Amino acid sequence: MTDRPLTLMAVHAHPDDEATGTGGVLARYAAEGIRTVLVTCTDGGCGDGPGGVKPGDPGHDPAAVALMRRQELQESCDVLKISDLEMLDYADSGMMGWPSNDAPGSFWQTPVEEGAARLAELMRHYRPDVVVTYDENGFYGHPDHIQAHRITMAALEMTSLTPKVYWTTMPRSGMQRFGEIMREFHPDMPEPDPAEAAAMAEIGLPDDEITTWVDTIAFSGQKFDSLAAHASQGENIFFLKMGKERFGEFMGMETFVRVKDATGAALPENDLFAGLR
């Protein structure tokens, strides 16, 4: 036995990503006395600037945006009671197909081995019992999410650690409900073209393929507040339009696929730490 606390490490791409898919588990496990470590890979410099100015528009200053988002990230960490924040500080690559994908120093252009070696050092330091990141498509195809997945899986191979490893996901039933809520708030929203609709239909997983369902509804208020801490990106965060009550109803269950496990904990499970305590 050891006095080392059980530790959860979440590896995310940008400031605000920690809140959307894992804000509930980060808050829940912090409340249970588990050490929570957030690794944020990019500086978020391709986010909106003050007044909603968009990347590439006149007046958008990626360095100033990154500084502002770093402060918002710290506020979000405070709300979620995250124990340790680690920033890799790669330049935000922007959405797939943006010119920023090709910028020298962008996360997307960083060799996987380089990012993985840095992350492996953090893993050796914190010795996480559970690691959470995205699937191989970064959940929805964002280059920085894909790269976060790649460096996480490569970093694990560089260490002798054997944590439980999870990828975030959403049940297809939830994605369908999300589409209904979007149309409720935006009744004039045009129907997506067939290619876009087909791509959307592939996001998430069939409900019966999800291995892990964690009830975080008691922490949905913290999760909402952590998203709200990223005020500069509020225009892009649809969930904030729901209000806390609807948000809690829709976002109070966080779902994952378990991809590595040495505990033998039975599936499906309702606790990332099943088999560890």
Predicted pLDDT of residue 186: 65
Using 50, 70 and 90 to split pLDDT, how confident is the model at 269?
Answer: very high
Between the alpha carbon of residue 244 and those of residues 71, 123, 186, 203, 269, the distances in Å are 23, 34, 18, 25, 27
Which of 83, 68, 88 lies closest to 11, judged by CA?
88
Q: Is the pLDDT of residue 31 over 60?
A: yes
Q: Is 270 helix (H, G, I), strand (E, B) or coil?
A: coil
Which of 197, 9, 185, 169 lies closest to 88, judged by CA?
9
pLDDT per residue over 239-257, tens digit each?
888 888 888 888 899 999 9
Q: Is 264 helix (H, G, I), strand (E, B) or coil?
A: coil
Q: What percent of the chain has pLDDT over 70?
A: 93
pLDDT per residue over 181-230, tens digit each?
667 766 776 776 777 666 666 778 989 999 999 999 999 999 999 999 99
Q: Is 103 helix (H, G, I), strand (E, B) or coil?
A: coil
Predicted pLDDT of residue 250: 82
Going by their DSSP bridges, the two strands 253-260 and 130-133 should be labelled as unpaired
Calculate the average pLDDT of the chain. Answer: 91
Predicted pLDDT of residue 199: 65
Predicted pLDDT of residue 135: 96
Contacts of 68 (CB under 8 A, 6+ apart): 49, 50, 232
pLDDT per residue over 143-179, tens digit each?
999 999 999 999 999 999 999 999 999 888 876 776 6
pLDDT per residue over 160-170, tens digit each?
999 999 999 98
Calculate mean pLDDT across residues 23-51.
96
Q: Is 73 helix (H, G, I), strand (E, B) or coil?
A: helix
Are 131 and 11 within 8 A, CB to CB? yes
pLDDT per residue over 66-103, tens digit each?
999 999 999 999 999 999 999 999 999 999 999 999 99
Predicted pLDDT of residue 1: 45
Calculate mean pLDDT across residues 41-67.
93
Cα distance between residue 62 and residue 42, in whole Å: 12
Predicted pLDDT of residue 242: 81
Predicted pLDDT of residue 238: 77
Predicted pLDDT of residue 248: 84
Contacts of 248 (CB under 8 A, 6+ apart): 217, 220, 221, 224
Predicted pLDDT of residue 235: 79
Q: b vs e for 46-77, b when ≥16 Cβ sit within 10 Å of the residue's Cβ?
A: bbbbeeeeebeeeebebeebbebbbebbebbb
Calculate mean pLDDT across residues 14-19.
96
Are 182 and 142 within 8 A, CB to CB? no
Q: In which order are the strands placed within the sheet that holds 35-42? A: 84-90, 35-42, 7-12, 130-133, 164-169, 253-260, 212-215
Beta strands in the chain (DSSP E): 7-12, 35-42, 84-90, 130-133, 164-169, 212-215, 253-260
State pTM to two decimals: 0.91
Per-residue tokens: 185: 């708030």
